[in-house]
Chain A
Amino acid sequence: MSNPLVRIGFLGIAHMHAVSYAHSLLAMPGVEVVGMWDRTDKLAAEWSERIGVARFDSADDLLAAGLDAVVVCSENAYHRPLVEQTAGRVRAILCEKPISTSVADAQVMIDRCAATNTRLQIAFPVRFAPSVIELKRQLDAGLLGDILTVNCTNHGSMPGGWFIDAELAGGGAVLDHTVHVIDVLRWFWGAEVAEVYAEVGDSLLHPGLGIDDAGLLSFTLSNGVYGTLDTSWSRPPSYTIWGDVKLEILGERGVVYADTLHQYVAVASNAAGKTQWAGFGSDMDRGLMADFVEMVRTGRAPSITGEDGLRAMQVALAAYESAKIGQPVKIA
């Protein structure tokens, strides 16, 4: 029994996740990675060579090669034009998070995909971490009883490059690291963030950076749960690991400490000059890609929609607004 071949192209690979997405797809039976394009020639040439994916001279050329689906991993600001250009020419688009840099742009992307019958999925790989899948199952089974509160972190290392260019990224640590955890909480409870207060640090950890590199969000959800999220790029180069996704969820019957990616061997290396944690957990990007390919193949609805991407991004934008005015901000 063989599945029809799914032909996929990469439009924009400036986001580093494109590398592991490509590796996952290249290893998947029944998938052909047809080619890639990026607006930056040097980056495109280097990536194409390193990953072993054919480089196309323009996005149109790649789309003309006859694709079933496209993965958009460009700088955030280019998500909208690339999705607009692609919608209607493929059956499905996987767009890296955050969906975009403004509500208006995100809405255009969603509307354009809907109008052209193109399935739009947002890349939230954390939903495919086995620990997060189990956690959702336990919460659904009522292990903790009624949920009271969540204390979350999505720490990271300062990524540099276009991530710290406000034009291309749309924001710093708060936009980069709000959306993963907020998406998971929305998924757990089918609830929306109702209000957010935020303290945002500009160039706080990295003097002279020129963009926010630290953030603390305090929020309420429509189901009555309140919580906080630390989005800071606060893991220095001397730390053991790039960052974390931690959710401490307190319910009426107990608490769960979910350090969702904490499956590591410790490696002290004199060559590296420090101790590092090398992960052995299941590859969540592989799970995300398998889910996406199955969606393309079967024609079912996306498991993570453009609307999901928009809702998560809105919380980050509201956090910036709150920091600006010094008051909590309600989200419609």
Chain B
Amino acid sequence: MQRVGVIGCGAIAAVHLDGWRRMPGIELVGYYDLKPEASARAAQRYGGRAFPSAEELFAAVDVVDICTPGTAHKENVLAAAAAGKSIICEKPMARHYADAVAMVETCERAGVPLFPAQVVRFFPMYARVKERIDAGAIGKPAVYRSARNGSFPRPGRDFSAAHYADFNLSGGVILDVAVHDIDFARWCCGEVERVFARGLTFAGKEFQDHALITLRFASGAIGHIEVSWAHPRGNFRTRVEVAGDGGLVEWDSQDRPALVYELYDEAHGFRRQGSSPTADVDEPYYAELAHFIDVIEGRAAPVVTARDGLEAVRVALAAIESMRTGKVIAMQEFGG
């Protein structure tokens, strides 16, 4: 049995809580949020209690799940580590590299596990891509391509607009979104050697951001990542392909889903809806959190480590630096 407490009760916390509350062997103890009404709402909806401080929550749990904005990760991770807790931390691990380094090193010194929530590794189609590569189906990976394209995160909502549109808080689309693909690309192709990026982060466009990132890996492989907060609202598209010297593996969220409904009525006209259902235990966020518990309880070796989360942040910051300066960034010399 693991007693779990959640710090930060925003949008991603709700996704985690939907997982925690149906996971066997978990006691959802409670919540802390800077806004007491947010933690009170979580307690009402998911059970457990709203704590008046993070410290009091730490004292009552085994596992701390940090779902705050990236800028607040460090203080919470350091405090939870000092309290000797197992820690799950949402991505990106931190807004600044030095903060992420401090988090990782503090947890290593304290001997507490720090799990970065790089959830893409737990999406079944991405996991299958990796499994096929490991099985040798495509030979040695040579050209990696992926995309993660949607619209700006809910401008107009009080939190999102202020947070995501402020580069100093969010790091823009590269740190918030590309950190997923950078981590997955590293999982498939190994360490990144250099980065070049173009995009809109510094173009002064309100509620639009976009980047095209070009990578060279130490293995010699090359990679391309597109991330967007500038695509038309209403569709979120992801795709990935990895070509090797012996084959190619690919997936696109716009592939036909298992279920396609075509409906007509006078009120709505023609509608086409797709759906690709998954069993509850395979839902990626649930699978991710359940995996972290398996590691804590000694049933599994970690699929992703704090060092992976750290390096994903460093490569993302290098891509931002490249976009800002127009220069190629060599990872060996880049200190965030």
Contacts and interface: CB of A to CB of B under 8 A. Distances in A.
A194 interface: no
Interface string B246-271: 11111100011111111111000000
A281 B139 contact: no
Contact of A131 (B246, B276, B282): B276
Nearest to B138: A269
Contacts of B136: 271
B111 interface: no
Contacts of A134: 259, 275, 277
Given A134-B277, A263-B276, A256 B249 contact: no
A263 B263 contact: no
Given A265-B125, A267-B249, A268-B248, A287 B279 contact: yes
B296 interface: no
A278 B128 contact: yes
B278 A130 contact: yes
Of A261, A264, A287, chain B has the most CB atoms within 10 Å of the CB of: A264
Contacts of B249: 265-268, 278
B14 interface: no
A265 B127 CA distance: 10
Interface string B115-133: 0000000001101110110
A272 B250 CA distance: 16
Contact of A257 (B250, B259, B263): B259
Contacts of A253: 263-265
Interface in A279-301: 279-283, 286-287
Interface in A241-271: 253-271
Given A130-B278, A257-B259, A270 B264 contact: no
B137 interface: yes
A64 B175 CA distance: 62
Given A130-B278, A281-B124, A254 B263 contact: yes
B248 A262 contact: no
Nearest to A257: B260
B261 A263 contact: no
A contact patch SS: mixed
A254 B278 contact: no
A265 B278 contact: no
B256 A259 contact: yes
Interface residues of B, number: 35
A43 interface: no
A133 B128 CA distance: 23
Contacts of B275: 131, 134
Contact of A266 (B250, B263, B265, B282): B250
A135 B256 CA distance: 16
B279 A143 contact: no
A138 interface: yes
Contacts of A261: 258
Contacts of A286: 279
B256 A269 contact: no
Contact of A267 (B132, B257, B281, B282): B132
A144 to B, nearest CB: 8
A143 B137 CA distance: 41
A39 B255 CA distance: 44
A250 B332 CA distance: 60
Nearest to B129: A265
B246 A259 contact: no
A256 B138 contact: no
Nearest to B128: A280
Contacts of B276: 131, 263
B248 to A, nearest CB: 4
B278 A271 contact: no
Contact of B251 (A143, A266, A268, A282): A266
A297 B131 CA distance: 34
A256 B261 contact: yes
A61 to B, nearest CB: 33
B284 to A, nearest CB: 11
Contacts of A287: 279
Interface in A165-213: none
B119 to A, nearest CB: 15
Identify the 9 closest CB pairs spanning chains A and B, nearest first.
A282-B279, A254-B263, A130-B277, A131-B258, A269-B247, A280-B124, A280-B128, A265-B251, A257-B260
7 contacts: A134-B275, A144-B263, A253-B263, A253-B264, A259-B259, A265-B132, A267-B138
Interface of B: 124-125, 127-129, 131-132, 136-139, 246-251, 255-265, 275-279, 281-282
